[in-house]
């Protein structure tokens, strides 16, 4: 699933391609909006809010999209071939005189009045890459349920917006805590560092084509996608297990030596298997 930095990059691409220009093409390929035509309207901006994208048009309309697991916005030149996927996966097309933005596999797509944006993003916590970022509020949100596992609390966009499964695993590693450690059991000195660390990770990656959390030349990530290869710090095999409420389990990576706290029992059933990324150790 795209994370806050990926969505921030998508918003920037859409804004640079469309903002300030009138639409010469408008095509929504979902039944609810099949007859809607925004041709002639000027695009005002595209802004990210956590993992949500808000594209605003003159006349007080906003297109709200969410990439979920496999969605993507691609921007093409006038004569450039569209290469984001087969035609039946296209959900929206927004074109100007010199650029065309094509939305593939968008699981959330809705048009609403710009005055109603809070209806779809008002529940989100402070945005790690947004102007509303508030580390104290984010930390307070995380600790409203001290018994909740750290990994689940980090993924809850109502606490702080922008963390996905990759950053969840990497943050827990950098904090030295397993994702199953109750938030309230996190030592105070590490808890105080959490919001700032999360902010630095996303801020440093928002302009990078390849996400990097290690600072190492040969390795991009500490634990995510590395099971069962050795931990970069201690050489213990990295482990992976599902974490979630059963309806939205996510593969979660951790080092059983570098990270303290509870973990799933060996042999716990997995709802789906991760294909490990094959990279050199």
Going by the DSSP 8-state scheme, the letter that residue 264 receives in this structure is P
Which superfamily is assigned to 4-121 in CATH?
MutM-like, N-terminal (3.20.190.10)
Asked, colleague to colleague, whether 4-121 and 135-254 share their fold, the answer is: no
The one catalytic residue in 49, 149, 250, 264 is: 250
Is residue 57 within 8 A of residue 20, CB to CB? The reply is no
Residue 277 pLDDT more than 60?
no
pLDDT at 246: 60
The one catalytic residue in 49, 51, 56, 206 is: 51
Active site residue 12: no
Going by the DSSP 8-state scheme, the letter that residue 124 receives in this structure is -
Hey, what CATH class is 135-254 in?
A: mainly alpha
Spatial strand order of the sheet with 43-49 comes to 43-49, 52-57, 61-66, 108-113
Q: Which long-range contacts (CB under 8 A, 24 or more apart) does 264-273 make?
A: 264/180, 268/241, 268/242, 270/241, 270/242, 271/242, 271/246, 272/242
> Per-residue pLDDT averaged across 258-275, rounded?
68
pTM metric for this prediction: 0.90
Domain limits of the chain?
4-121, 135-254
Active site residue 264: no
Write out the two tokens for 67: 């990439």
The angle, 0 to 180 degrees and rounded to 10, between the axes of the packed helices 4-18 and 188-205 is 30
Residue 280 pLDDT more than 50?
no
Active site residue 208: no
| pLDDT tens string 226-261 | 999 999 999 999 999 999 766 567 899 999 999 999
Active site residue 117: no
pLDDT at 248: 67
The one catalytic residue in 3, 74, 170, 211 is: 3
The one catalytic residue in 2, 48, 126, 251 is: 2
pLDDT at 38: 98
């Amino acid at each position: 699933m795209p994370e806050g930095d990926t969505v921030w990059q998508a918003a920037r691409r859409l804004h640079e391609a469309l903002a300030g220009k009138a639409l010469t093409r408008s095509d929504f390929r979902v039944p609810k909006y099949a007859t809607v035509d925004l041709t002639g309207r000027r695009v005002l901006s595209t802004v990210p809010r956590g993992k949500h994208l808000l594209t605003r048009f003159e006349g007080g309309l906003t297109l709200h999209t969410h990439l979920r697991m496999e969605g993507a916005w691609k921007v093409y030149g006038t004569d450039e071939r569209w290469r984001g996927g087969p035609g039946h996966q296209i959900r929206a097309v927004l074109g100007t005189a010199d650029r065309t933005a094509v939305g593939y596999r968008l699981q959330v797509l809705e048009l609403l009045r710009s005055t109603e944006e809070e209806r779809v993003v008002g529940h989100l916590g402070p945005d790690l890459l947004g102007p509303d970022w508030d580390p104290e509020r984010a930390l307070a949100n995380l600790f409203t349920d001290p018994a909740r596992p750290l990994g689940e609390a980090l993924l809850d966009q109502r606490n702080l917006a922008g963390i996905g499964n990759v950053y969840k695993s990497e943050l827990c590693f950098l904090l030295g805590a397993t994702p199953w450690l109750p938030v309230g059991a996190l030592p105070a000195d590490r808890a105080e560092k959490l919001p700032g660390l999360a902010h630095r990770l996303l801020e440093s990656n928002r302009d990078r084509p390849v996400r990097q959390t290690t600072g190492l030349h040969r390795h991009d990530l500490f634990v995510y996608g590395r099971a069962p290869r050795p931990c970069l710090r201690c050489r213990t095999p990295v482990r992976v297990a599902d974490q979630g409420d059963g309806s939205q389990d996510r593969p979660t990576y951790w080092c059983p030596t570098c990270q303290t706290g509870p973990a799933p029992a060996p042999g716990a059933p997995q709802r789906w298997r991760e294909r490990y990324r094959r990279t050199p150790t």
